[in-house]
Amino acid sequence: MSGKANNNVAIISKMYCSSSQVVLVVRRRPHVINGGGIVVTDCSNQKIVFRVDGCGVLGIKGELIVRDANGDALVLIRRKGGIVEALSINRKWKGYAFDYEGCQKLVFSLKEPKNSCLVRNNAITISTAVTSKDLDFEIKGYFPDRDCSILDSTGNIVAQIGVKKEVEELMSSKDLYHVVVKPGVDQAFVVGVIATLDYIYGESTRC
């Protein structure tokens, strides 16, 4: 595992790239509480670092917003809709970062295979709008089992989603799980991917 600063993978912003490994704790909100969504805390200090509002909050299907600790919008994630989606083999999600003036800039696209909810070994691909072609990713594993990883173009794991044994014993619903983010990897991007997976598999961000 390399944790060198020159390996920073800034998709949303370099301010969310840490020089050391970070463990994030993801907690799903039930729909009856603030319309559902996700709250993400830093395991080391228990402080909230991100929040994700989904359909229950926004009132718009196929749309998510990743916010920072202050509640400011970082990423808008939207599912491509219409007739094109119905005819396509793959459904596509697009993530847009907000700049300082509030303008949206495409930063990543996630391709969702059809029947991905039914097939455990269906790899999901992510392409980024960053200039380097090396910054493409793949999700392997099965998100509903809380056992999957985000891999870079060379096959290295950049983030791993799992459930700690002590948590699993207490919570069979898997509303609480952890994400290990490797050094230099954009945590906001990882949370955006997790939020999209949460919606795809019909969890707390979906109506």
Mean pLDDT of 93-102: 84
Q: What is the mean pLDDT of the chain?
A: 84
Q: In this predicted structure, what is the pLDDT of residue 5?
A: 39
Residue 136 has pLDDT above 70, yes or no: yes
Point out which residues pair with 109 in neighbouring strands.
94, 127
Share in percent of the chain as helix, strand, coil (round to 5): 20, 40, 40
The CA–CA distances, whole Å, from 205 to 55, 58, 147, 154, 200 equal: 6, 10, 19, 31, 9
Position with higher pLDDT, 137 vs 89: 137
Q: In this predicted structure, what is the pLDDT of residue 81?
A: 64
Domain 19-200 falls under CATH 2.30.38.10: no
Q: In this predicted structure, what is the pLDDT of residue 182?
A: 96
Least confident of 2-11, 39-48, 77-86, 152-161: 2-11
Mean pLDDT of 3-20: 78
**Share of residues in the chain with pLDDT > 90 (%):** 55
Mean pLDDT of 11-31: 93
Sole residue written with tokens 């795809």: 200
Q: In this predicted structure, what is the pLDDT of residue 2?
A: 38
Query: pTM for this structure?
Result: 0.87
The phi and psi torsions of 200 (rounded to 5 degrees) equal -55, -40
Q: pLDDT (tens digit, 9 = 90+) per residue, 147-177? A: 999 999 999 999 999 976 555 554 555 689 9
